[in-house]
Amino acid sequence: MQGRPFEGIKVLEFCWAGVGPFSLNYLAYYGAEVIKVETTLRPDITRTGAPYKDNIPGLERSATFAWTHPVKKYDITLNLNHPRGIEIAEKLVARADVVGESFTAGKMEKFGLGYEDLKKIRQDIIMFRTCGYGRTGPLSTQPSTGFSLTTLTGFNSMCRWPDRPSSPVSGPYTDFIAPLFGGLALIAALDYRRRTGKGQCIDLSQHEAVINFVTPIVLDYDVNQRELVPTGNQCDHAAPHGPYRCKGDDRWCAIAVSTDEEWDIFCNVIGKPAWTKDQKFSTLLNRLKNYHELDTLVEEWTINFEAEEVMVMMQAAGVPAGVVSNTQDLFEDPQLKYYHHFHELDHPAMGKCAFYQGPGFRLSEADYDVARPPLLGEHNEYIYTKILGISDDDYTKWMQDGVFD
Amino acid sequence: MLSCYRALDLTDEKGFICGKVLADLGVDVIKIERPGGDPARSIGPFYHDMAHPEKSLYWFAFNGNKRSITLDIERTDGQEVLKKLAKTADIVIESFAPGYMDKQGLGYSVLNQVNPMIVMTSISNFGQKGPYKEYKASEIVLWALSGMMYIVGDPDRPPLLSSYPHAYLFGGMQGAIGTVIALYQREMIGRGQQVDASALMSLVRATGPEVQAPWELFRQIVKREGRMRLRTGTGVRTPILWRCKDGDVGFFLLLGANFIKANTALVEWIKSEGVDSGVMGQIDWKKVGWDEITEDVACQINAILTEFFSRHTKQELYEEAIKKGIQIVPALTAKETWEFPQFAARNYWVKIAHPELEAVMTYPGGFIKSTETTCGIRRRAPLIGEHNEEIYKKELGFSAEELMILKQSRII
């Protein structure tokens, strides 16, 4: 394994919540130095959200914050409303390759830290800016979170039984989609600068990025004037298809049979009961037509086995199948364990937690690093006095003045 | 931004989006389809519901900006062609079953010899290695194993799939990120490398801390509860999605300094309409924390908001919420997304010509805006073998006769 691709890259993170940090984390995973700029006056919203360790609120006890920052970051508190705070921010910018921010539109400009300002400090700076709706347009100053964007983009309307209102997906789902685009663009910008010496300002409107995930729905409306049709657990080209109840409480195994070959294998695995030879199930079209009866019959078999057993039997024979994993299953999943997907890290307030994750890929020439989340202002003294060279006297005085709030 | 690079794209639907987003950033992506066209061209929906390999809207969506050649890489001639192409390519993207490319004599160990700088990005269901590497999958299998399925749906019914299949998009995107990191690292180490992107690992992340933290902190398994979401370790639940007069709106109760103004404004709004604000009217949003929101209080809040939202349309709620800075958002239909004023103001939609269909279609705009470069779709997805002549004849120098032989032997 070689070194870290982004070693030597310095990142200044003025980001809150999820999308900004998740985008920047790809740099941190692979060696970049990140200084996270927070403030005690207005803590990151993820620090003030439940669930908390032991259900006791505290700025260092939020699981959401911890989950979002599984990488080494220097954490400083800085009061950008104080003129000296802006001076210090500018000194930090001067040594940074990348500056990330996720304030609402206009805020950074108000601080004198807009892109044009940053370019004066460092001509080839890469600025990464993200907000919900984009930095121009009628909604540019509207606050948004992943929770609201997930509804706005239609993701909370996609999982639906035809006879019922939709069921939302996991909470801030778009917080896990937008940073995929953000991280990609940011790394491309670093590569571009390496080749050309030019920086740039990247503007990630989370709404605009996420709609790139639903292009087929957009086109279907454009040319066919059709909205997404809710299909429950059915598939129009596979039967049996769906989650099938297994032994135990709320245990299911998903099975998907698309081809004749898979159907033959499937019938073998379940012991070729007489019903499988019924004309009703002899072709895909017939199985789709009689899917309700088919599903009932399949479940009469699956109910006798553990979900894992069903998956293993089906997969061994060549039929797509997967346990409907609950959280415990995830943490015990053999494939995720093989890739060491979850890391257990110790933290002064959170204790030992194993939900820290790296990227969804592995590189053959670079390893990623995880590290416990930083505490608020944990590295104030180090960054201000050692890195920026502020004298101890000034540091004490400015602290009293509220510069480091 | 990335227009100096070329990618050979051998993916199916498990990896289309990887090449697409790289192409959006300028990479010259050559889609390599088997003769007769990629089987994924049979994925709907279709243009005017005509199921045809040149009319798949799914294909259009995730293969825009790419050129296309046909090639059978299971034939020795095809393998030689691919190696020739790899000489001048920077990236090879594939989503075959782990081991398939090696079997064709086109694995990384071979391509690396042909071109030591090549980055080979392999996107698969579960990864190139491990106990599940031979496992077969489909959207529902990934959705199930990722933990997403278990938490979606109503308690009185089975867990629920998304009617819009999109699980594979996560793996494709992670593949793209790994690819650009590998490109960046190339200059430092003087060689390419392999990117092993796993759709499963990518999608697991999307269950998020909401689902994973309760297990780690309280050994609590989050279950599907329809529109309700578990908020604390003590069983307090609030809805994330609400019915209103003409559809659904999203509103998620959030506490703390950042939401004092919005929560206060919401209570005022409720009162101003003559709805009893009950317990909500008594809460001091400046001070309240989740430890003070008991199950009983949550139930009351839920009832008040259910009543309030049910009196209004999506548009009424959204317009007023915007004025007051409250995050009540409509669940937009495709039509409403299309008509969304913010998109029009930012010139978001891109019109792309499809001359063969005598149509112009509207595509989403670039996923980022940049001061230095454009991003997004520039041309429609390719027809089957549309660029055979361009690539094979003009670039690789095959003669017309050679091309005829390859075509008739179904190698291209």
**Over the stretch A377-391, which tens digit does the pLDDT of each residue have?**
999 999 999 999 999
Does A317 reach chain B within 8 Å, measured CB to CB? no
Q: Do B211 and A138 touch (CB under 8 A)?
A: no
In a domain, B393, yes or no: yes
Mean pLDDT of B292-308: 93
d(C-alpha B371, C-alpha B79), whole Å? 41
Query: Which residues 178-197 in chain A show a CB within 8 A of chain B?
Result: 180-185, 187-192, 194-195
Among A161, A209, A229, select the one facing B368 at the smallest CB separation: A209
CATH of the domain at B330: 3.30.1540.10
Nearest CA in chain B to A48: B256
Domain A10-213+340-401 matching CATH 3.90.1200.10: the answer reads no
How many other CB atoms sit within 10 Å of the CB of residue B247?
Answer: 17
- B173 and B278 belong to one structural domain: no
Percent of chain A residues topping a pLDDT of 70: 100
Query: Which residues 389-408 in chain B show a CB within 8 A of chain A?
Result: none
- HEC readout, B380-392: CCCCCCCCHHHHH
Does A23 reach chain B within 8 Å, measured CB to CB? no
A1 confidence band (pLDDT: 50, 70, 90): low
Report DSSP letters for A306-323, one per residue: -HHHHHHHHHHHT--EEE
How many other CB atoms sit within 10 Å of the CB of residue B94?
Answer: 24
In a domain, B79, yes or no: yes
Q: Do A55 and B233 touch (CB under 8 A)?
A: yes
- ipTM greater than 0.95: yes
- Range list for CATH 3.40.50.10540 in chain A: 10-213+340-401
A367 assigned to active site: no
Cβ–Cβ under 8 Å, residues B219 and B233: no
Nearest CA in chain B to A25: B177
Structural domains of chain B, count: 2
In a domain, B347, yes or no: no
Query: A83 preceded by cis ω (within 30°)?
Result: no
Which of chain B's residues have a Cβ under 8 Å away from the Cβ of A373?
Answer: none
**Does pLDDT of A302 surpass 80?**
yes
Percent of chain B residues topping a pLDDT of 70: 100
- B329 and B370 belong to one structural domain: no
Q: Do A55 and B161 touch (CB under 8 A)?
A: no
Does A239 reach chain B within 8 Å, measured CB to CB? no
Among B144, B254, B330, select the one facing A152 at the smallest CB separation: B330
B24-51 residues labelled b (16+ CB within 10 A) or e (exposed)? bbbbbbbbbbbbebbebbebbbbbeeee
Does B117 reach chain A within 8 Å, measured CB to CB? no
- List, for residues B328-340, the tens digit of each pLDDT value: 999 999 999 999 9
CA distance A390 to chain B (A): 31
Among B143, B144, B368, select the one facing A203 at the smallest CB separation: B368
Query: Which residues 207-226 in chain B show a CB within 8 A of chain A?
Result: 207-218, 221-224, 226
In a domain, B55, yes or no: yes
Does A160 reach chain B within 8 Å, measured CB to CB? yes
**Does pLDDT of B31 surpass 70?**
yes
- B303 and B171 belong to one structural domain: no
Predicted local confidence at residue B220, as pLDDT: 92
Does B19 reach chain A within 8 Å, measured CB to CB? no
In a domain, B346, yes or no: no
In order of A66, A70, A95, A283, B145, the CA distances from A332 in angstroms are 21, 20, 43, 38, 11
Q: How long a stretch of residues is chain A?
A: 405
- B42 and B134 belong to one structural domain: yes
- B271 and B325 belong to one structural domain: yes
Q: What is the DSSP letter of B280?
A: G
Q: Is the dihedral of CA A115, A116, A121, A124 positive or negative?
A: positive
In a mutagenesis test of the B interface, which of A23, A125, A135, A170 is the best target, namely the one with the most B β-carbons within 10 Å?
A: A170
Which of chain A's residues have a Cβ under 8 Å away from the Cβ of B366?
Answer: 208
Predicted local confidence at residue B396, as pLDDT: 94
Higher-pLDDT residue of B80 and B234 is: B80
Predicted local confidence at residue A48, as pLDDT: 85
CA distance B189 to chain A (A): 8
Among B166, B189, B201, select the one facing A339 at the smallest CB separation: B201
Q: Which of A52-56, B30-34, B288-292 has the lowest mean pLDDT?
A: B288-292
- B327 and B377 belong to one structural domain: no
CA distance B406 to chain A (A): 30
For residue B313, which phi and psi values (nearest 5 degrees)? -85, 165
| pTM value surpassing 0.90 | yes
- List, for residues A243-279, the tens digit of each pLDDT value: 999 999 999 999 999 999 999 999 999 999 999 999 9
Q: Is the dihedral of CA B310, B314, B320, B321 positive or negative?
A: positive
Q: Is the dihedral of CA B98, B99, B101, B102 positive or negative?
A: positive
Mean pLDDT of B250-279: 92
- List, for residues A94-121, the tens digit of each pLDDT value: 999 999 999 988 999 999 999 999 999 9
**Does pLDDT of B352 surpass 90?**
yes
In a domain, B54, yes or no: yes
Average pLDDT, chain A: 96
Q: Do A167 and B152 touch (CB under 8 A)?
A: yes
Among B178, B210, B329, select the one facing A361 at the smallest CB separation: B178
In a domain, B226, yes or no: no
In order of A65, A181, A239, B343, the CA distances from A211 in angstroms are 26, 11, 30, 11
Q: Do A180 and B375 touch (CB under 8 A)?
A: no
Predicted local confidence at residue A3, as pLDDT: 74
- List, for residues A188-211, the tens digit of each pLDDT value: 999 999 999 999 999 999 999 999
d(C-alpha B315, C-alpha B325), whole Å? 15
- Which region, left, alpha or beta, applies to residue B124 given φ > 0 means left and ψ of -120 to 50 means alpha? beta
Mean pLDDT of B352-368: 98
d(C-alpha A247, C-alpha A275), whole Å? 22
How many other CB atoms sit within 10 Å of the CB of residue A37?
Answer: 22
Q: Do B331 and A152 touch (CB under 8 A)?
A: yes
Does B14 reach chain A within 8 Å, measured CB to CB? no
Q: Do B206 and A168 touch (CB under 8 A)?
A: no
Predicted local confidence at residue A93, as pLDDT: 98
Which residues span the domain enclosing B373? 6-205+364-408
Q: Do B196 and A205 touch (CB under 8 A)?
A: no
Domain A241-332 matching CATH 1.10.357.10: the answer reads no
- List, for residues A317-358, the tens digit of each pLDDT value: 999 999 999 999 999 999 999 999 999 999 999 999 999 999
A382-395 residues labelled b (16+ CB within 10 A) or e (exposed)? ebbeebeebeeeeb
CATH of the domain at B186: 3.40.50.10540
In a domain, B227, yes or no: no
Which of A175, A222, A295, A333 is the catalytic position? A175
- B90 and B170 belong to one structural domain: yes
Predicted local confidence at residue B240, as pLDDT: 95
A2 confidence band (pLDDT: 50, 70, 90): low
Q: Is B64 helix (H, G, I), strand (E, B) or coil?
A: coil
